[in-house]
Structure 1
Amino acid sequence: MLGDPWSLMDGMVLYNKRLYLPSPSPLLPEILAVVHDVGHDAIEKILHRFRKDFHTPCAQTTIQDFVCHDITCRQKKTKHLHLAGPLLPLTVLSSIWSDISMDFI
């Protein structure tokens, strides 16, 4: 007799119609590996794919730990934040049309 979000189907515990995996489950690392190996994406995308079919307590922390320890992800992903240097003012031109530039996009 489980509560409203909880149900039991074919001997498996479901939470909001998703398979419940407790944290110490031996299946959790295997399922995370399958969900992660679809495409070594960002943590949010992996979390979204995982939460479609599964529920586990502290899913975000578990997936962050899994991704941080994956060698392929560590080699591919770099930090996107660059330290900003000092802001410098633009130079004032001495005459009209002395400097023209173009941005190629």
Structure 2
Amino acid sequence: MLEQGIICPGTSPFSAPVLLVKKADSGVPPGRLNSAVDALSRCDADTADAPRELHALSRPSFCLLNDIRDATAADPEATRLLQQLLDASLGAPWTTNDGFLLHGKRIFVPAQHDLRHQVIALAHAADHEGIQKTLMRLREVFYIPGDRGLVQDFVRACVTCQSNKTPTL
């Protein structure tokens, strides 16, 4: 499907391909005749006889991951860790794979440019659910030393979170 152009690269490493399939005959009454409609059963009256298609709604992106890979090769801290790993003075849970420095199964994000800020923003902007859930989402994929303090600062500076925050007595 990627080769056919149905699924193309997007902007978020947290997103997955989301596909919407409309079946030719779902057995569901169209439009107003359906009292329990959902997103997949809706069908416009003028396209009721048209063939159904597969539509890509969102797409995965690997630009950020490529930026992290490039920064890992250029960052002094990452190159020091890679050298220690090659010298066998840095053991588990550190490994390397495909240009990434891994801490366990998580990708190390070097302090190059604003990559750490981008990764935290990506993990937080999904739902603006606060410090703990942002940390949980971030730690599923990425490793950033001192991430708790960075996430706390980011969430406290988030305009959306602060405007939706309920006042305490």
Question: What TM-score results when the alignment is normalised by the length of structure 1?
Answer: 0.70
CA displacement at 1:21 relative to structure 2: 1.3
142, 147, 159: which one pairs with 1:54? 142
Deviations 1:52-80 (A, max 9, x none): 00111111110000111111111011344
Q: 1:24 to 1:68 in 2, by over 3 A?
A: farther
> Pairwise mapping of residues 19-58 of structure 1 onto structure 2 (< 5 A)?
19-24=107-112, 26-58=114-146
3-state SS of paired residue (1:13) = strand
Aligned to 1:72: 160
RMSD of aligned alpha carbons: 1.5
Q: Is the contact made by 1:23 and 1:57 (CA closer than 8 Å) also made in structure 2?
A: no
Relative to its length, the structure with more helix (as a share) is 2
**Unaligned residue ranges in structure 2 (runs of 5+):** 1-85
Q: Is the contact made by 1:22 and 1:57 (CA closer than 8 Å) also made in structure 2?
A: no
3-state SS of paired residue (2:102) = strand
CA displacement at 1:19 relative to structure 2: 0.3
Distance in 1, Cα, partners of 2:107 & 2:138: 10
CA displacement at 1:23 relative to structure 2: 4.0
Distance in 2, Cα, partners of 1:79 & 1:31: 29
**Unaligned residue ranges in structure 1 (runs of 5+):** 83-105
Indicate whether 1:16 and 2:107 are aligned.
no
Q: Is the contact made by 2:135 and 2:148 (CA closer than 8 Å) also made in structure 1?
A: yes
